A and B are shown apart, each in its own frame.
Chain A
Amino acid sequence: MEVTCKGVPYEAFKDNEYIEKLVNELRESGTNVIVGTFDKLINWGRSNSLWPLTFATSCCGIEFVSLGAARFDMARFGWEVARASPRQADFMMVAGTIVNRMVPVFRRLYDQLAEPKYVIACGSCAISGGPFRNSYHVAKGIEDIVPVDVFVPGCPPRPEAMIYGIMQLSRKIKVEKFFGGVNRQEKQREFLESHPVE
């Protein structure tokens, strides 16, 4: 099964093995025809309607603003409905450094997002701490705080890279299973159980 986005050839994506692996995992467990159709419908809706949370801490956030502007225009994909309230957003573009003081706030924002929720670690600070990794007050990557779906490297990543990153997220959603089987949410639950919040 070739999972792709409209107007983008399958070969243009760089990590097809990963998606194929995901698809194979899903196939192994088998799907009911009716359930499979429902899944497709739901995934079509979810993957095509990704509303970001207005959340930015530093430089990458400005590139995210550029992403909305006329040149890159993320509205083409339907991502422009940036919600300021986490309850109404679908994914969180972690654009910028997360420091120790921000960690509880950030985790809380993540917990406030309504399911299904996705996280994109955008920029080297969010991925690993980036240039500030050695600092006393910087979290070394957000992977330890929330489960991350897509990493977009760069400092800051170019808007094109961000579009590519969100497309990858959309592809991942397309092969998700809502009813039974290998469920992304189970992995997420595992993560949350191993990283509890008091």
Chain B
Amino acid sequence: MANIQEKLAQIIPGATIEDDGTGIPQVTVDDKDWHDLARKLHDDPECPMDYLVTIVGMDWVESLGAIYYLASSKTLQRCSVRIQTTDREKPMLHSVADIWRIAEIYEREVYDLFGIVFIGNPDMRRLFLNIDWVGYPLRKDYNDDPALNPVSTENERQSDFTNVYVEKEDGTVEKTERRVFEADDFVVNIGPQHPATHGVLRFRTAVDGEMIKKIDVYMGYIHRGVEKLCESLQYPQTLHFMDRLDYFSAHNYHHGLCIAIEKAAGIEISRRAQVIRVMMDELSRIASHCLFIGTYCMDLGATTMLFYTLRVREQILDIMEKTCGARMTFNYDCIGGVMQDLAPDFVQDVKALLAVLPANIKEYNKIFTGNVIARNRMIGVGTLSREDAISYAVTGPSGRASGWACDVRKTHPYSIYSELEFDEIIATEGDSMARFECRMKEMEQSARILEQLVDNIPDGEYCVKVPKVLKLPKGSWFQMVEGCRGVFGVYIESDGTAKPYRLKIAPPCLPLATVVDHITRGAKIADLITIGGSLDYIVPDMDR
């Protein structure tokens, strides 16, 4: 296996390779060469960088730019590429949306929040904010006077057209308009208030009878500007937002941000804290998958399943409540360990849970998985190939159902996961059934992890001492953890103060919602519900 540094040096001759704080090599390239280089990186036979983890939009005051985090699905190596432009009036970069499909939506996000136009992106609309929003909020010079962008009860202005910026032979860039839908399409609005969109997501669906022709995913109905808020808060204060993104993976997200900050600050945490964190992660994974199964079955019309799965979830919430004091927003992991020690009967409760879980999973399978109607509804519906899963960065159980081994706990182990024995559940079918069953089996694997740990919680302190005002050194760090729905990435750039200069959250649910358009083409309206449900996106997570 070629070293990634050598590979980068070979593909990008003369580039300086730096190391960010987490050991991911970073190269800075010129915007002109970026598209060709991206193509080379993506198509490299030995180490194809085919997985675009995230695009971090950046405002370095003197320049605007983007950092692309890439990974290889084959060799698991990671690298990041930095491109920038000094033009603040009309910043333009080249799009790579034709290389990585997911780049299209990521670039739209960067455009929305930083105002960087991507040349060649087929859909340069704002993503989260209204068309007539004044300013780009994540820029450092953003004017947040509420008078500029008042809260209005007037209906939002919408356009049927999207912008495409095309570069001509002579280097000038021309703006053209393109219709989102055909002129005579029958467009049905599904959402934002709709029982099946799992929150306030909106699908503008062009249908032909019951057949879906195209879906325009329209988000931003719960965009709360978490990243901007984080920039004005100290590091320990930023943590509590992690509870409110994907509220089912609250522990996992906390864990991710804590690891990133601890790495940056050079804090070693005790083994007890690590074990507690991992146990909490896995407990929330079971709870989350339980709720997924319930709501998914409810979407398919089998309401009763929800009540059976919530029974187990309530049991897990009880365990968490005893220790963390809350049912949902726990705020438990903190920098240096965890907030509180475990409740005295934690071990006993977890054992009780592990005792009933297999019987419950068996019951779910009996009621739902084996049901002929359920099977017909799910098998072969919404098939996502492995290539598309990687290109669309569909991670988590949904990606693994397509045959892509993307579990961060295995690929880039963090905390104590490398010592634990568990299987990565991988299916090859890539349809809704596979996604459903993957989650079902993952619950068993999580239970396996818990079994290994429950009797081996070491003694020790649960939280190490950290300075009250935590200042991180200058630099940048990127950390990936496995949330309940996929890879959760967090990028921190520090300028040496107690507040992050930039804190980027790379949520797993944004790709999950994006891929809906791709896999529902030609399916029926009812299949949209099946597919959307099986992908299991959480809207506040994708909107942030």
**Is A66 in the interface zone, CB < 8 Å from B?**
yes
A81 to chain B: closest CB distance in Å?
13
Check A135–B225 contact: CB distance below 8 A: yes
Chain A interface size, as a band, is 35 or more
How many angstroms from the CA of A100 to the CA of B241 in the assembled complex?
Answer: 19
Check A156–B328 contact: CB distance below 8 A: yes
Instruction: Give the residues in chain A near B314, CB-CB below 8 Å.
Output: 66, 69-71
Instruction: Give the residues in chain B near A84, CB-CB below 8 Å.
Output: 194-195
Q: Which of B152, B156, B228, B329 contacts A136 (CB 8 A)?
A: B228
How many angstroms from the CA of A195 to the CA of B193 in the assembled complex?
Answer: 22
How many angstroms from the CA of A63 to the CA of B226 in the assembled complex?
Answer: 22
Check A104–B156 contact: CB distance below 8 A: yes
Check B244–A139 contact: CB distance below 8 A: no
Q: Which of A59, A66, A86, A134 contacts B247 (CB 8 A)?
A: A59
Check B130–A100 contact: CB distance below 8 A: yes
Q: Which of A101, A131, A132, A144 contacts B130 (CB 8 A)?
A: A101
How many angstroms from the CA of A198 to the CA of B228 in the assembled complex?
Answer: 31
What per-residue 1/0 map shows which CB atoms of A93-116 lie under 8 Å from chain B? 000110111111101110000000
Q: Which of A55, A71, A134, A136 contacts B193 (CB 8 A)?
A: A55
What per-residue 1/0 map shows which CB atoms of B89-129 lie under 8 Å from chain A? 00000000000000000000000000000000000000011
Q: A58-B540, A103-B151, A145-B153 are in contact. Are A134 and B232 (CB under 8 A)?
A: yes
Instruction: Give the residues in chain B near A96, CB-CB below 8 Å.
Output: 222, 540
Check A104–B152 contact: CB distance below 8 A: yes
**Is A119 in the interface zone, CB < 8 Å from B?**
no
- The size of the chain B interface, using a CB distance under 8 A, is 48
How many angstroms from the CA of A145 to the CA of B152 in the assembled complex?
Answer: 9
B217 to chain A: closest CB distance in Å?
14
How many angstroms from the CA of A138 to the CA of B200 in the assembled complex?
Answer: 14
What per-residue 1/0 map shows which CB atoms of B241-259 lie under 8 Å from chain A? 1011001100000000000
**Is B18 in the interface zone, CB < 8 Å from A?**
no
How many angstroms from the CA of A166 to the CA of B225 in the assembled complex?
Answer: 31
Instruction: Give the residues in chain A near B3, CB-CB below 8 Å.
Output: none
How many angstroms from the CA of A158 to the CA of B317 in the assembled complex?
Answer: 12
Instruction: Give the residues in chain A near B151, CB-CB below 8 Å.
Output: 100, 103, 139-140, 144-145
**Interface segment out of the listed B19-27, B304-312, B336-344, B507-515:** B304-312
**Is A189 in the interface zone, CB < 8 Å from B?**
no
How many angstroms from the CA of A25 to the CA of B82 in the assembled complex?
Answer: 67
**Is A37 in the interface zone, CB < 8 Å from B?**
no
**Is B154 in the interface zone, CB < 8 Å from A?**
yes
Enumerate chain A interface residues (CB-CB to B < 8 A).
54-59, 61-63, 65-66, 69-71, 84, 86, 96-97, 99-105, 107-109, 131-132, 134-140, 144-145, 155-156, 158, 195, 197-198
Other 17 A-B pairs with CB < 8 A, given A96-B540, A104-B153: A57-B222, A57-B540, A58-B247, A59-B243, A63-B328, A97-B222, A101-B129, A102-B221, A102-B222, A104-B152, A109-B193, A134-B232, A137-B128, A137-B223, A138-B224, A156-B328, A158-B327
Enumerate chain B interface residues (CB-CB to A < 8 A).
128-130, 137, 142, 144, 149, 151-156, 192-195, 199-200, 220-226, 228-229, 232, 240-241, 243-244, 247-248, 291, 295, 306-307, 310-311, 313-314, 327-329, 539-540
